[in-house]
Structure 1
Amino acid sequence: MDSEKCGKCGKVATSMCINCKTAFYCSRECQKSDWKCHKTQCRSFEIVSDEKIGRLLRASRDISAGNILISESPIIIGPKWTLDEDEEMLKFTCVGCFETINTLYYKCPSCSWPACSSECIGLLNSELHDIECQFIKFGNGPKEKTNIKSIKGYFRMDTMLALKILLLQRKNPKKFQAIMDMESNEKNRLLTSNFKEAEEKILFLEENFLNPLEKAEEKNGQTILPLKDRKILHKIFGIIETNAIYINLQTGTEICGLYPTAALLQHSCLPNVSYKFDMKSGFKISVKAAKDIKKGEAFSTSYTHVLWPTSVRQQHLMDTKYFTCNCERCIDPTELGTNFATLRCIGSDEGPCNGFQTQTSKFEFSCNKCPIKVSMEHVNMITGRMNEEVDNLLSLSPNPATIEDLIEKLSPFLHPNHYLLFNLKHTLVQLYGKHKDSPYDTLSIDNYKRKLSMCEEMIKVVTALDPLSIRIAFYTSILLYEKAMCMYEMHKHKYDNIDLNEVKKCLEDAKKIISVEEDLTEGKQLLQKIENALIKF
């Protein structure tokens, strides 16, 4: 082996690839990732095409849980292409690092777009603001310099990622082509609201940047951007909507990135891989096997929210990705036995049957005890009104009593595990013992038992819906922590025969689960609470 050279750095090799036995390395540092020697036979996956799904990643060998499957840098990152904020609020996005800012005090010294600081690290980064800085400085600017709506209407970031991609054809043609090779769902988008929203964004880009550029090109007799028509812009927006992966910054702000291989992860409401981002390495993504994966299985993540019911998840997937999911959860009317969208049957004129209604088709709910069926339209109307009540209450910083009142009001119509009751209970268990109206020292034995029972019920639900703690680790950790604290307080007050070993196990499980979110501020704070509680034991 002395004559062999390391396949990565060229130094004298001291070990060989454990898979193919033909590639050599100088140290463990050069063969840490699951890609091993980067030869085809050593990869953990292969890229295949499916008539219905398109391109996907499939395991080329048996893979153990915890193995790194993909480790790659983004082709490009940028702010989200959708806006969630209130147009009336004085909020902007830093053009360098994409963090939310509340003032226009700082600006990029070159283009004068809003920044968190004139020395923001993202302003000079060749992979961040540097891509568009010299281009947007020649924009038209706000029409009314003192009107907040006009200012916000110009410094909008929902078009910035598309503009960055468009500018790559000049800045980095190889990256531009790599993005153009991605799926755009152009035909599916034509008659959707996504297409109409993209039209409005394209109009903004044309009026403020592209039309002035075209005039300058004509005047100077040179072409700066060969492609900048509506067709290419619609394709770019389609590529973003189809492939972009959301990235949570430490503060909770969301941005997104396009990754050449990770973009091919298939959707499943029960995913088998998890991923993390290394902020210090240019938002490099590491995709890891969350469970043992057999050869031939597709790598999957979830494109939607785990704590949405099937009908909402399906609608979201159809609206944004143009397909219907047929995973194990989606085809089960009880949603893996959780009854997360199940209604109580109100029965007939003869009285209630004490049955439950689940979605048995795309168009209706059916009772498991009587012949009564309810149309999907009627269910949506009822749950829509209830959802408004829940949202309105939770937005008002309620106390435990008002939440209990709404739970009591909705319970005759919903299964105890229904997602609307779940949302209320998840808030309630965090208030019992901490809210000024119900500190631990004032809780009765019934209050303690009520909190403990809710925690146990919801832990069963989240464990069924996210068994690998991939998508809702924060929710699960909170429930385990609240259960542990409730049991500990019950032990202190000698209310019940509590096993302190179970308390400790809840905290240890919570710590293990939340560790995947420790890079985020909220995750770090919860982890600190859990570690402080463990000190007591």
Structure 2
Amino acid sequence: MNGLPGVVKTDEKIGRYLEANRDIRQGEVIITEEALMVGPSGDPHPFKICLGCCRVVIGEPNYCGTCKWPMCSEACEKIAQHAKFECRVFKNAGVKPSNDPQDYQNINILRCLMLKEANMKKYETLMKLESGPVDKKKKVVAPKEVAEFILKKCNQKSYDNELLGKMAGIVAINSFATTDRLSLQIAPRMAALLFYNASMMSHDCVPNTSWTRVENSDNTFSIKVWATVPIKSGQLITTQYLDVTRPQIERRAHLQETYNFACSCKRCSDPTELGTFYGAVKCTKCPKGKGYMISEDPMKASDATWKCNACGNSAPYRECTVPIETNVIEEMRVAADEVELERILDKHADVTLHPNHWLMMDVRTEIVKRLINSVPTIKEVDRRVDRAQKMLDYCKALNKIAEAFYPGNNRIKARSSLYVQYAEALTKGDGDEVDKELDKIEEVIRKGEEMNVFES
């Protein structure tokens, strides 16, 4: 890893990791490298994704003239990562278009397999990546859906099951996914990228780096990783393997299942999650009504006893948190608009759940998604200002959490801060100066989206 301010080491619990071999300044670029492979993201939402640029296809798509899969444009069907890989396979085997997330994951695996013919050097580097916590004595077996797609649907019978299993593992645990959760206008890019050096970084639920995808002029992609905070020599250089706004128990379960390690980072080990009370629920028996139930031992996950931080009342996790969280999730599922979502917030924030509870943050995020486009269109000034003030309150609450979980100059925190500025400008009502300020902030947000700065 010549030129990098770190060295790769191995640990029994977390596997390979990158350790700083000198002090790294805040903002210093640590890694820049070209992607070994790029493909559509296997996101859980059933979108049609362009196999050329990997953006979500909005409206009526164009279709590739060769394989008939949905594309953004004729230009996209000529992009090498599609035209020289699965396109001819799909045509020859008659593979029909799909918006099944698993099929997009399968396409990534197929592209990686075909890389051996297209670029042997990249293929050999790719094969050095970890493919999962596999017992060396056990034979690797490909997931059924992967084998079904590649061997049968695509008629690529030259690949054996063990190779399919290894490649499926490489894609699953090393992919850097790019999406945009709060876009103003641009169709989000749902891409999965594979890198060698960047894949050496270990996970932390409060990472000390941030990264962005760089789109090169030849339609290839690179990654730029920088230090969001100062990193001392000997410290781990970390990233996030999953969305760290998810609850602690969910994060640790996913990391254990996918990467075979139980996260014991500073945040996961703290019952209050760095003072945010991100998973805390209101104590129903607290005489003062001010206590919150938090885990006595976060490392025990759902088996832990939860205890009130004020009165000492205790109860199993499944009794004090699961019922209320299940109820709120269902209320969110059936909420038709931001008004109903706001009712959920009023009903539960600091009543049944801590105001910073992850579900309350999810509700605020959903409200902001709606308000960011609707508020500027409200013609009645007083009502627009009132709704903008609400949006500002929600954005500030979200930004407070972003500051805790994404410290320093993290791109996600930067985006969150911009939305606070946008909401603040909307609260000022009418006038040329307000319009200019809004235009300026919108331009910054739009530029950030175009440059992939805010993708996550």
Per the TM superposition, whether the score is higher than 0.5 is yes
Match of 1:232 among 160, 163, 183: 163
Match of 2:305 among 354, 358, 364: 364
Match of 2:259 among 321, 338, 342: 321
Letter of the 2:417 counterpart = T
Letter of the 1:305 counterpart = D
Displacement after TM superposition at 1:103 (Å):
4.8
**Deviations 1:129-168 (CA, angstroms, capped at 9, x unpaired):** 31233333221445xxxxxxx9667994331111111122
**In 1, Cα distance between equivalents of 2:393 and 2:231:** 35
Match of 2:325 in 1: 383
* 2:192 is the alignment partner of 1:251: no
**In 2, Cα distance between equivalents of 1:71 and 1:160:** 25
Letter of the 2:407 counterpart = P
Match of 1:134 among 80, 85, 88: 88
**In 1, Cα distance between equivalents of 2:445 and 2:377:** 27
Displacement after TM superposition at 1:272 (Å):
1.2
Match of 1:398 in 2: 338
Displacement after TM superposition at 1:357 (Å):
0.8
Does the C-alpha gap of structure 1 residues 203 and 391 become closer, same or farther in structure 2, counting only changes over 3 Å?
same
| Identity of matched residues, % | 26
Does the C-alpha gap of structure 1 residues 523 and 245 become closer, same or farther in structure 2, counting only changes over 3 Å?
closer
Displacement after TM superposition at 1:443 (Å):
7.9
Match of 1:50 in 2: 11
Match of 1:84 among 45, 48, 55: 45
* 2:26 is the alignment partner of 1:65: yes
**In 2, Cα distance between equivalents of 1:273 and 1:233:** 32
Letter of the 1:175 counterpart = K
TM-score computed with the length of structure 2 as normaliser: 0.80
Aligned to 1:357, the other structure's residue is in SS state strand
Match of 2:35 among 62, 74, 91: 74
Letter of the 1:420 counterpart = L
Match of 2:105 in 1: 158
- Contiguous gaps of at least 5 residues in structure 2: 181-185
Displacement after TM superposition at 1:112 (Å):
4.0
Match of 2:55 among 69, 86, 99: 99
Does the C-alpha gap of structure 1 residues 340 and 172 become closer, same or farther in structure 2, counting only changes over 3 Å?
same
Aligned to 1:178, the other structure's residue is in SS state helix
**Deviations 1:382-422 (CA, angstroms, capped at 9, x unpaired):** 202212212432xx2233xx344322322321112222223
Q: How does 1:176-215 map to 2 (within 5 A)?
A: 176-187=123-134, 198-210=143-155, 213-214=156-157
**Higher Cα Rg: structure 1 or 2?**
1
Letter of the 1:123 counterpart = K
**Deviations 1:214-261 (CA, angstroms, capped at 9, x unpaired):** 4xxxxxxxxxx4xx1111111111111110111348631211111011
Q: How does 1:378-457 map to 2 (within 5 A)?
A: 378=319, 379-393=321-335, 396-399=336-339, 402-411=340-349, 412-426=351-365, 431=371, 434=375, 440-442=381-383, 456-457=396-397
Displacement after TM superposition at 1:435 (Å):
8.1
Q: How does 1:458-497 map to 2 (within 5 A)?
A: 458-468=398-408, 469-483=410-424, 485-486=426-427, 488=428
**Deviations 1:322-341 (CA, angstroms, capped at 9, x unpaired):** 22222221111111111121
**In 2, Cα distance between equivalents of 1:183 and 1:164:** 18
- Could you tell me whether the CA contact under 8 Å between 1:66 and 1:291 is conserved in 2? yes
**Deviations 1:7-59 (CA, angstroms, capped at 9, x unpaired):** xxxxxxxxxxxxxxxxxxxxxxxxxxxxxxx9x5x542222222322222222
* 2:65 is the alignment partner of 1:108: yes
- Could you tell me whether the CA contact under 8 Å between 1:251 and 1:520 is conserved in 2? no
Does the C-alpha gap of structure 1 residues 189 and 239 become closer, same or farther in structure 2, counting only changes over 3 Å?
farther
Match of 2:121 in 1: 174
CA root-mean-square deviation:
4.0
Letter of the 2:328 counterpart = M
Aligned to 1:471, the other structure's residue is in SS state helix
Displacement after TM superposition at 1:454 (Å):
5.5
- Could you tell me whether the CA contact under 8 Å between 2:131 and 2:170 is conserved in 1? yes
Match of 1:528 in 2: none
**In 2, Cα distance between equivalents of 1:187 and 1:106:** 40
**In 1, Cα distance between equivalents of 2:5 and 2:121:** 26
Letter of the 2:45 counterpart = D
Displacement after TM superposition at 1:96 (Å):
2.8
Letter of the 1:209 counterpart = C
Displacement after TM superposition at 1:449 (Å):
7.8
**In 2, Cα distance between equivalents of 1:480 and 1:342:** 29
Aligned to 1:269, the other structure's residue is in SS state coil
Displacement after TM superposition at 1:124 (Å):
4.7
**In 2, Cα distance between equivalents of 1:121 and 1:315:** 38
Match of 2:204 in 1: 268
- Could you tell me whether the CA contact under 8 Å between 1:79 and 1:160 is conserved in 2? yes
Match of 2:243 in 1: 305
Aligned to 1:287, the other structure's residue is in SS state strand
